[in-house]
């Protein structure tokens, strides 16, 4: 409130902050009203078409709604206007969901580069490295599928060696590594809530010592890994929030 005096009259001017569409969209996104948030992000982009922030956040909202092609388009536009690790990450997630492994891998690598690439607080470096490895695995699998299906024109199959044991017998002799057990999610539950100043995430695991948990923080994100035991696997939780939440100022209790 601003006060002034003009020729003996008391003048009071009340300043009221108008909530802009981007603020309303962010609030709806946090409340997980993604349809309502998308409408407000559309309004924000219409009002400021050159806002890389609005486009990046609309990309995140489109991802939540499963609109992967729209998310990829928004993320690409955001990167062109205002390159950021977050915009590249949204692009990577969108391309990965669309099974566009090369584009996804490039986007995650660009996000990792912009994040600093080192340390757990380097803009979600640990999570981005996991996504790069996932994209690499998909690319390798795709390449192996193409290679196994390729044949040389005019080449014939080699004659079988009668002295060689059957392939099934050879395969049976080779020990196979046991796959890691899936996490026993019945032992873990998580919840979160937000106040005007804090985001609180609680992960509750039964019969697990504190040193079995590893937590890393990044820009508006946190990764949790809990070793549940030799027969229960590893529980993982990757949390991310809208921009404006600073994970570098955090409190961790185990």
Confidence check: pLDDT of 11 > 80:
no
User: In the chain, at which residue ranges do the beta strands (DSSP E only) sit?
Assistant: 2-6, 9-13, 188-194, 199-205, 213-218, 221-227, 234-240
Domains and CATH numbers, the chain: 2-98 (1.25.40.10), 187-240 (no CATH)
Compute CA distances 37 → 25, 26, 27, 65, 90, whole Å: 4, 7, 8, 10, 17
- 207-229 pLDDT tens trace: 778 777 787 776 667 777 777 77
Least confident of 24-28, 47-51, 101-105, 228-232: 228-232
Q: Is the pTM higher than 0.75?
A: no
- Residue 207, φ and ψ in degrees, nearest 5: 55, 40
Separate counts of helices (H) and strands (E) for the chain: 8, 7
pLDDT at 188 over 80: no
Stretch 21-38: mean pLDDT, rounded?
93
Work out the pLDDT band at 121, boundaries 50, 70, 90: very low
Going by C-alpha positions, the residue among 211, 254, 206, 214 that lies closest to residue 238 is 214
CB-based contact 220:242 (threshold 8 Å): yes
Is residue 23 pLDDT above 50, yes or no? Answer: yes
pLDDT at 80 over 50: yes
Q: Is the pLDDT of residue 92 over 50?
A: yes
On average, the pLDDT of the chain sits at: 75
Considering all CA atoms of the chain, what is the largest pairwise distance in Å, rounded to the nearest integer?
A: 114
CA-based angle 237:115:244, to the nearest 5?
65
Rounded Cα distance, 23 and 31, in Å? 13
| Candidate from 94-103, 152-161, 179-188 with smallest mean pLDDT | 152-161
Q: Count CB-CB contacts under 10 A for residue 168.
A: 8
Q: What is the pLDDT of residue 150?
A: 43
Mean pLDDT lowest among 10-14, 56-60, 150-154, 171-175:
150-154
The sheet with strand 234-240 has its strands ordered as 213-218, 221-227, 234-240
Q: How far apart are CA 13 and CA 32, in angstroms?
A: 37
Which range among 42-56, 105-119, 148-162 shows the weakest confidence by mean pLDDT? 148-162
Listed in sequence order, the residues at least 6 apart from 225 whose beta carbon sits closer than 8 Å to its beta carbon are 213, 214, 215, 234, 235, 236
- Is the separation of the CB atoms in 96 and 88 below 8 Å? no
Residue 169 tokens read as 């017998």
């Amino acid at each position: 409130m601003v006060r002034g005096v003009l020729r003996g009259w008391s003048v009071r001017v009340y300043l009221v902050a108008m909530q802009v569409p981007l603020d309303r969209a962010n609030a709806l996104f946090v409340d997980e009203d993604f349809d309502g948030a998308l409408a407000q992000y559309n309004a924000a982009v219409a009002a400021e078409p050159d806002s890389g922030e609005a486009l990046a956040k609309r990309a995140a909202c489109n991802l939540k709604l499963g609109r992967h092609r729209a998310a990829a388009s928004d993320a690409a536009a955001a990167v062109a206007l205002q390159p950021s690790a977050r915009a590249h990450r949204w692009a990577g997630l969108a391309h990965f969901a669309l099974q566009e492994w090369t584009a996804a891998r490039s986007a995650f690598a660009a996000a990792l580069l912009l994040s600093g690439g080192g340390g757990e607080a380097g803009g979600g470096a640990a999570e981005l490295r996991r996504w790069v490895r996932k994209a690499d695995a998909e690319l390798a699998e795709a390449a192996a599928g193409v290679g196994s299906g390729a044949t040389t024109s005019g080449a014939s199959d080699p004659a079988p060696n009668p002295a060689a044991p059957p392939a099934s017998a050879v395969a049976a002799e080779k020990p196979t590594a046991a796959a890691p057990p899936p996490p026993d999610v019945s032992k873990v539950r998580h919840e979160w809530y937000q106040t005007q100043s804090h985001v609180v995430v609680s992960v509750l695991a039964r019969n697990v010592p504190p040193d079995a948990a590893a937590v890393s923080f990044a820009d508006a994100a946190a990764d949790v890994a809990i070793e549940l035991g030799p027969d229960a696997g590893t529980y993982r939780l990757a949390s991310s929030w809208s921009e404006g939440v600073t994970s570098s100022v955090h409190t961790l209790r185990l």
